Structure 1
Amino acid sequence: MRHAHIYLIIGALLATGLFAAPAQAAPVLCEKFGSTTVQSGRYVVINNVWGADTAQCIDVNQNGGFTVTQAAHNKPTNGAPASYPAIYAGCHYANCSTGSNLPMQASASAFNSLRTSVSMSYPSSGTWDAAYDIWFDPTPRTDGQNTGAEMMIWLNKQGSIQPVGSQVGTVNLAGGTWQVWFGNSGWNVISYVRTSAASSLDFTINTFYADAVSRGYAQRSWYLTSVQAGFEPWIGGAGLAVNSFSYGSSGGGTDTTAPSVPGNPTTSGTTSTSTNLSWGAATDTGGSGLAGYDILRATGDAFARVGSSTTTSFTDTGLLPATTYRYRIQARDGAGNLSQMSGTATVTTQTGGGGGGGCAVAATTQTAWNNGYVIQPVTVTNRGTSAISGWTVTFTLPAGHTITGSWNANLSVNGQTVTARNNGNNGNLGPNAATSFGYQASRPNGNTQVPSGYTCRSSA
């Protein structure tokens, strides 16, 4: 089985300063994690010897490419590769190129016109693959490990190596036929392996991402963070070369100006399970127009997107009683540019008294197999100080998944949203009392996702 393509160690080393990533290095990079920029910062080139201690050097082409001039690797082909020397646009562990317009949400209209091309040269010796590595995260992340999807596009390979996971199909895209592989390394890894080798490729990113979304392996709400092209050598690797690389919009006249920062949010009408947010409007001068706002919420240090609004207000529901939440707002334009985050609003929900009470929900995966799973128990607990007479749980079903059965609750499905309501005999719950239900679902073969985003609301 091929590597898990883990960059967690790299991020930790960069963060501690054990390995420096200089903004401008020499034209030949031999440091394990050495990097330099080309074309006035438009792209970043990285040596990135993340899986070995053997020597590797790359000669950087300031016009937009590099050549591996030294590679003394000799790794087993059933494990991780030695490195991933690459050129990229976007952000990789806080090392960002300029003018990439990334991160960008995959639902933005501008995402559809993002295009990239590469031309490569290959040696006749060694064991390696030549591949794009395109990263997506549920948040607009610029540092650390992405946890959404890693989409690899193999133009060529040499030796007995294969992608993460197993083959789940074939597809015709971008003028070629590709094997589709799927695995999970703590995030979804979707690999497209060309059945006939190519030395160049020109495609819109959405061509492959739309296929990944249709298979249930990726989501439109996730953010594209970087577009990388390079090589994974196991044995040798000298002579591998990116001759040219490009990334940008095929639409022309791309808006790269972010909206202004929204006004700081305020809260009102807070109950045990919800709060109302409002904020001052942002403005957009880039030409694509203001498209809306993303609402970010945190209970600890990390903010995560919990919803969006096309107005300057939002009601956040499904909260836990007696819990402190923090909110920030980001503006988004029609090209997918994100503003800086607003200031923070802090609110603590009520304890749940006054007749309604509040409920909490926790779900457990009892069992899972190649194309299905059972979620049981889904535990509903009254966290309020008074009794409740009913509850409603909502959660998100991944694309391509289907509910095939349920028990101890009445389930209904609208798009990807599932709503579970109590039966006649399990809606009445006193303070701290709990009940549970379960369900079974099918999913595309090889998809390892399970539903997420469980929220609970109670009634008096």
Structure 2
Amino acid sequence: MTTFLHPARHRARHRRHQRLRSLRTAATAALVALGSLTALTTATAPARADTVICDQFGSTTIQGRYVVQNNRWGTSATQCVNATSTGFTLTRADGSVPTNGAPKSYPSVYNGCHYTNCSPGTSLPKRIDTIGSAPSSVSYGYVGDAVYNASYDIWLDPTPRTDGVNRTEIMIWFNRVGPIQPIGSPTGTASVGGRSWEVWTGSNGANDVISFVAPSAITGWSFDVMDFVDQAVARGLAQPSWYLTSVQAGFEPWQNGAGLRVDSFSSTVVTGGTGPGGPGTPATACRVTYTPSVWPGGFTTNVTVANTGTAPVDGWRLAFALPAGQTVTQAWNATVSPASGTVTATGTASSARIAPGGSQSFGLQGTYTGTFARPGQFSLNGTACAVA
């Protein structure tokens, strides 16, 4: 298999952005109504006509909330998409490019902002640590006589950027056909959203990329985007204070591609995280189980936070004082700061809720001097907890 680096992808997008202003007027003229409304024999409302887009960077809105874009940036050959009421079909995909370079294009549908073109009413960009969940659903239709991937893209940036290339791109490869592979190199496997993925990491010269590749084709899936965002944060490719700027579902074709479809797409962003705009809800009652494993000079601890009250706790923060001489060196399934003294453990974006009778667990590793001791008191969103 030939290594795919596609460094030209985002440089091409940058060049596209420079040309976009002058092309905007022409893009409007390129939107062509496909067919005409069929004469009705009953008193039903007419169906919405599909919209065919052949302009290089043309776009249209569907459902009053998402943008469908042609986004042909890697070739001069003709490409057309037919935007439907629920998604789009790639109706023409002329030309081909080498499989060891960038793809021809990224026809897609998205929620958020792409080179200043923001979908109507979107809440993006939004700080990662203020997002409680970001449920999404997509269904794909595939063809066999092309070289392509079906890619769901998630874009992250340190600022609420609505134009240009973001700092980190998360790619979810639902399917791949032909001798292509993600940017960078394989770095292991991961279980995300209840599925197993091959993980690739690298850079295309403009931004960091982490790709999750399905072992076999997925035609449809409903999932939480924040599960993948949490993976990027845990691997140091983003920070909780960064912004989710857009989520996009589409295809990257290298050869042919006519007939590829996104049959349906939905994306919602639900606030309820722990950052500004998401302060968390008070706990009514809680219990903490603190289970350390100690060796000379070091320790690990598993911490379970149980909600023993009758209402859910959203955006949970567990505060406790580390005994003198203890320092946290790393944590998992939560963010712990500062490293010593009175610290606060903050749940990840995808585990920000503790249901009544439920619990969340996290771990930490650290060093100590003198005699090891456990913290004596814990508080959950300001409420003192019992210690098991």
TM-score by length of 2: 0.63
Taking the aligned partners of 2:30 and 2:137, their CA distance within structure 1 comes to 24
Q: Is the 8 A contact 1:153 1:192 kept in 2?
A: yes
Identity of aligned residues (%): 48
Q: Does 1:77 align with 2:77?
A: no
Contact 2:30–2:55 (8 Å) recurs in 1: no
Q: Which residue, out of 189, 200, 209, partners 2:209? A: 189
Q: For the structure 1 residues 32 and 24, does the alpha-carbon distance in structure 2 shift closer, same or farther, using more than 3 Å as the test?
A: closer
| Cα offset, 1:25, TM superposition | 3.1
Q: Retained in 2: the 8 A contact 1:56–1:70?
A: yes
Native 8 Å contact 1:68 1:237 kept in 2:
yes
Deviation, structure 1 residue 120: 0.4
Shift of 1:177: 1.2
Deviations 1:106-164 (A, max 9, x none): 111xx231111100000111100001111111100111221x21000000010000011
- Distance in structure 1 (CA, Å) of the matches to 2:29 and 2:129: 32
Residue 335 to residue 201, structure 1, CA distance change in 2 (3 Å): farther
2:72 to 29, 34, 49: 49
Counterpart of 1:236? 256
Q: Determine the C-alpha separation between the residues in 2 that align with 1:217 and 1:135.
A: 11
> Partners of 2:15 and 2:330 in 1: how far apart?
32
Spell out, residue by residue over 1:290-347, the C-alpha distance to the aligned partner (whole angstroms, 9 max, x if none): x98xxxxxxxxxxxxxxxxxxxxxxxxxxxxxxxxxxxxxxx53399xxxxxxxxxxx
Superposition pairs of residues 105-124 of structure 1, within 5 angstroms: 105-108=127-130, 111-124=131-144
Residue 182 of structure 2 is matched in structure 1 by 163
Summarize the Cα distance change of 1:178–1:144 in structure 2 as closer, same or farther, 3 Å threshold: same
Report the CA distance shift for 1:120/1:136 in structure 2 as closer, same or farther (over 3 A). Answer: same
Determine which structure has the larger helix proportion and give its number: 2
Matched residue, 1:173? 192
Query: What amino acid is aligned across from residue 14 of structure 2 in structure 1?
Result: L
CA apart distance, 1:23: 10
For 1:227 and 1:134, the matched residues in 2 are separated by: 5
Question: Aligned partners of 1:243 and 1:335: how far apart in 2?
Answer: 37
Query: Structure 1 residues 196 and 137, CA, compared in 2 at 3 Å: closer, same or farther?
Result: same
Task: Give me the whole-angstrom Cα distance separating, in 2, the residues matched to 1:13 and 1:151.
Answer: 26
Asked whether the equivalents of residues 19 and 33 of structure 1 are also in contact (C-alpha less than 8 Å), the reply is no
- Counterpart AA for 2:57: F
Q: How does 1:350-365 map to 2 (within 5 A)?
A: none
* AA in 1 matched with 2:53: L
Which residue in the other structure is 2:224 paired with? 204
Question: Equivalent residues in 2 for 1:264-275 (5 A)?
Answer: none
Matched, 1:223 2:229: no
Whether the 8 Å contact between 1:215 and 1:399 is mirrored in structure 2 is no
Aligned to 1:152: 171
- Among 117, 124, 140, which residue is 2:160 paired with? 140
Per-residue displacement from partner, 1:400-437 (whole Å, max 9, x unpaired)?
A: 9xxxxxxxxxxxx9649xxxxxxxxxxxxxxxxxxxxx
Cα distance in 1, alignment partners of residues 153 and 174 from structure 2: 11
2:242 and 2:177 map into 1 onto residues whose CA distance is 32
The reply on whether 1:64 has 2:86 as its aligned counterpart is yes
Matched, 1:98 2:42: no
- SS of equivalent to 1:226: strand
Task: Say whether residues 1:34 and 2:58 are aligned partners.
Answer: yes
Shift of 1:99: 2.2
Runs of 4+ that moved beyond 4 A: 18-21, 413-416
Q: Deviations over 1:237-275 (max 9, x none)?
A: 0010000000014xxxx57xxxxxxxxxxxxxxxxxxxx
State the match for 2:352 in structure 1: none
> 3-state SS of the aligned residue for 2:236?
coil
Contact 2:56-2:71 at 8 Å conserved across structures: yes
Cα pair distance change 1:160/1:29, threshold 3 Å: same
- The answer to whether the Cα contact below 8 Å between 2:168 and 2:238 also exists between their aligned partners in 1 is yes
Give the counterpart letter for 1:333 in structure 2. G
1:333 aligns with 2:277: yes
Q: Which has the higher contact order (CA 8 A, sep 6+)?
A: 2
User: How many corresponding residue pairs?
Assistant: 262
Q: How far did 1:73 drift?
A: 2.4
Superimposed CA distance per residue, residues 57-106 of structure 1 (whole angstroms, 9 cap, x where no aligned partner): 11110x22000111112110000000000000000011011222100111
1:21 deviation in Å?
Answer: 4.6
Q: Which amino acid aligns with 2:61?
A: T
Q: Does 2:31 correspond to 1:25? A: yes
Partner deviation per Cα, 1:193-218 (whole Å, 9 max, x = no partner): 00121111211111111112112222
Please provide the CA RMSD for this pair: 2.7
In structure 2, give the amino acid aligned to 1:36: T
TM-score normalised by the chain length of structure 1: 0.53
Gaps (5+ residues) in structure 1?
Answer: 256-287, 293-331, 337-397, 401-412, 417-460
Check 1:172–1:17 CA distance in 2 against 1; reply closer, same or farther (3 A cut): same
SS class of match (1:169): strand
CA distance in 2 between counterparts of 1:138 and 1:30 reads: 34
Summarize deviations over 1:166-214 as a string: whole Å, max 9, x none: 0101011223211111011232101100012111121111111111211
Distance 1:72 1:24, change over 3 A: closer
Counterpart contact for 1:23–1:37, Cα < 8 Å? no
User: Distance in 2 between the 1:399 and 1:43 partners?
Assistant: 39
